[in-house]
Structure 1
Amino acid sequence: MIKKTIIGLLLLAAIAIIAINFFKEDAQPVDTSSSSANAQDESVTEGLSIGQAAPDFTLTDQNGETVKLSDYQGKKVILNFWATWCPPCRAEMPHMQEFHENNADGDVEILAVNLTAQDNGEEAIQSFIDQFGLTFSIPMDETGSTAQTYQIRTVPTTYIIDSKGDIAQKIVGPMDEQVMKDQTDSID
């Protein structure tokens, strides 16, 4: 009975995620017409569209360490946004930990940004981390500014960032280890 209830809740959450994203306002397009067409200009417009440079941020992780997205340039990054109260996030975390453990020496980093400003407090977050045995970096978005920058309306939401720091993919909803592997294997 509990298993059916959990599956029902996950199914309901998935339907809600799809509905929210179907009806949400589209982000305003970035005007790149003023950028130089000069081949020597290697600057990339920062934004949230595929191919744009992922907006940089600096946060503190669960261990008190400073995490800056731009420090991971040269590696692929799974940039995930989550909260402890989110059932699909709970379903996704064991897969993220498994992926992290299976790629410990690889070129992919997981940054699982906790929406601390919207979550249930530090104790709930630490309990969640302990419960799932999470060992990857969990930056804490205490003000909500990073979630706002990345226009997070639904959790989990994940950006796959290539080794140049550009957004390669956006995934709304939970992922499993195979999806993470497929998404990161398909980019440089």
Structure 2
Amino acid sequence: MTTLRPGDPAPILVMATPEGETRIEAPATPMKPTVLAFFKAECTTSRLILPCLERLYQAYASENWRLLGVSQDDPETTQTLRQSLGLSFPIAIDYAFQSSTAYRLTHVPTWFLIDPHGIIQKISVGFVREDLEFLSQQIARHLGQEPIPITQDRDPAFRPG
């Protein structure tokens, strides 16, 4: 959960690279929608949603949108998770939970769809199949492509975070 709502400006991100360098950045990218996905390695729902986000990343491989995973774990745990799930999309470390606090998170996984002007368009908490397919449709529409399903038949319709 979060108290942020669609239409709110997306907060600034304070993250660390896997190498430990602190980075502050605006979530908006000119001309590109951004998907921020907060997760934690020990969360089974996070482990369910991350492969769907990887399929999204692979299906719409393009410089015209951005996916950023935001891990609430240390770099070693994050790297182990990345390898075990075969994740190739960029992941940053939530330095001292500053970004999670700025985004007012109470549960993970939570993802945000942010427009190029830094305005939150969609928020989804937990695993919500319908929301993930909506996300795929929005990225496809932005790229002028046909949407590709990113969830699988065996995935539940909903699982809380």
> TM-score range, shorter-chain basis?
0.7 to 0.9
Q: 1 or 2 for the larger relative contact order (CA 8 Å, sep ≥6)?
A: 2
Q: Tell me the equivalent position of 2:103.
A: 150
8 Å CA contact 2:14–2:98 kept in 1: the answer is no
Q: Tell me the equivalent position of 1:82.
A: 39
Determine the C-alpha separation between the residues in 1 that align with 2:63 and 2:25: 19
Q: How many residues align?
A: 140
Q: Aligned to 1:163, what secondary structure does the other structure show?
A: coil
Between Structure 1 and Structure 2, which shows a larger proportion of strand residues? 2
8 Å CA contact 1:80–1:112 kept in 2: the answer is yes
Kindly report the root-mean-square deviation, in angstroms, between the aligned alpha carbons of the 2 structures.
2.6
Q: Aligned to 1:72, what secondary structure does the other structure show?
A: coil
Q: Mark the runs of 5 or more structure 1 residues left unpaired by the alignment.
A: 1-20, 28-47
Q: Tell me the equivalent position of 1:128.
A: 81
1:118-139 Cα offsets, whole Å, 9 max, x none, are: xxx4332211011112111111
Q: Aligned to 2:127, what secondary structure does the other structure show?
A: coil
1:144-179 Cα offsets, whole Å, 9 max, x none, are: 111011111111011110122110011111255523
8 Å CA contact 1:160–1:184 kept in 2: the answer is no
Determine the C-alpha separation between the residues in 1 that align with 2:142 and 2:6: 12
Q: Supply the AA of the counterpart residue of 2:36.
A: L
Q: TM-score scaled by structure 1?
A: 0.64
Mapping for residues 7-156 of structure 1, pairs under 5 Å: 27=3, 48-62=4-18, 66=23, 68-70=25-27, 72-105=29-62, 107-116=64-73, 121-156=74-109
Between Structure 1 and Structure 2, which shows a larger proportion of helix residues? 1
Q: TM-score scaled by structure 2?
A: 0.74
Determine which structure has more spread, i.e. the larger CA radius of gyration: 1
